[in-house]
Amino acid sequence: GQSLEQPSEVTAVEGAIVQINCTYQTSGFYGLSWYQQHDGGAPTFLSYNALDGLEETGRFSSFLSRSDSYGYLLLQELQMKDSASYFCAVRDLDSNYQLIWGAGTKLIIKP
């Protein structure tokens, strides 16, 4: 079967760095995306990795290791507004390139 695993909840302190991990098991991996969703809101796209390595966009970075079926989202200089749920999603060739979503990680930031 196809599945994605990510922690259900992560807690961090304002100004710190936090890493949210995602491991996946899919038959036709094409790329890994990350989305942010505030409570009651719409998911918004953060990043996409198709090749191994680190992609950096401001305070957010995303990493992928295809050989380990593993990726992570790194958030630096945490701000209270970063409190949200973060979803990893795999674009899967065998599902007609549709996204398969993880259950999400709720990030709680303490002052």
Partner 1 sequence: DGGITQSPKYLFRKEGQNVTLSCEQNLNHDAMYWYRQDPGQGLRLIYYSQIVNDFQKGDIAEGYSVSREKKESFPLTVTSAQKNPTAFYLCASSPTGEIGTGELFFGEGSRLTVL
52/77 with CB nearer partner 1:
52
CA-based nearest residue to 3, from 30, 26, 21: 26
- Smallest gap from Cβ 12 to partner 1, in A, equals 20
- Smallest gap from Cβ 108 to partner 1, in A, equals 15
19/44 with CB nearer partner 1:
44
Rounded distance between C-alpha atoms, residue 93 and residue 89, angstroms? 13
- Smallest gap from Cβ 46 to partner 1, in A, equals 10
Residues that bind partner 1 (CB under 8 A): 4, 8, 30-31, 33, 35, 40-45, 48, 87, 89, 91, 96-99, 101-104
40/111 with CB nearer partner 1:
40
Rounded distance between C-alpha atoms, residue 57 and residue 44, angstroms? 14
- Smallest gap from Cβ 27 to partner 1, in A, equals 15
Q: Answer whether 72's CB lies under 8 Å from 19's CB.
A: yes
70/101 with CB nearer partner 1:
101
